[in-house]
Chains A and B, each alone.
Chain A
């Protein structure tokens, strides 16, 4: 699991193993400007300010150019964080919460993770073992 910090709204979410940035955000009740969700249109791009992402699925250079990759631009429907990441969305992305219930679950997951990591290492070990 990794933490995704979304800017400028300053929202923290927990990304699951192998999950693209878009999947995490939508699962946690948010919407933003997206297109095909298949890496073909480039509409869901955002800037990675820190951390690393990888692309398990092939992405066309015409959609995400090597120069963009070098500059930290990510195609959020395909980019899978391999570390904690800070992602900055543009104003045009219109990131907003549409399902507060799902975000509530996301927050519980996040605080659970934080507590497990910082306050209860035994429980964290149990969870992994179980």
Chain B
């Protein structure tokens, strides 16, 4: 079982590394959107600092949303998804492997460049480290919840709008707590509460989202 999990994870990472231009898309989107903001508004340090948490978090969320399609689309189109569903291993475990691969390829790069963008938006050092922690806890939740949405819409042609409608309401709590943590940290207050809440959401999503995704995939395949 763990063997199948590990091999699927490696297969997805290998496929992504052989297709590098696609890999860079969410990262470039993230960096571009955040760096356009100072050009559009008054670029004073205070103004930038006050909107930085929101801007960075919204851009990260949209970058993940745009990359979600990749999670199951190719496997659905070439029939590999059927083979995953016919595996003697629990589909939930295989789905989990695919979601982890997706996070390593989209969420993690965002977390890594985030400090740079935080400094660029003149966030204080404390807030930059909280930004990294909040994204580290929050982006996996985005991938996990996104997987449920994609598995419901993968069979729909141009299901992008439908996907955002399903997924965005579920993303909002993550956005609120993530951005608020950075905001509060910039004011020099404790962010324990927000980060604990994000961690709780991650635990909840990690335990329930793969199950929901597996069920949704079976529904999609049965049409």
The answer to whether A and B come from one shared complex is no
- B residues adjacent to A (C-beta < 8 A): none
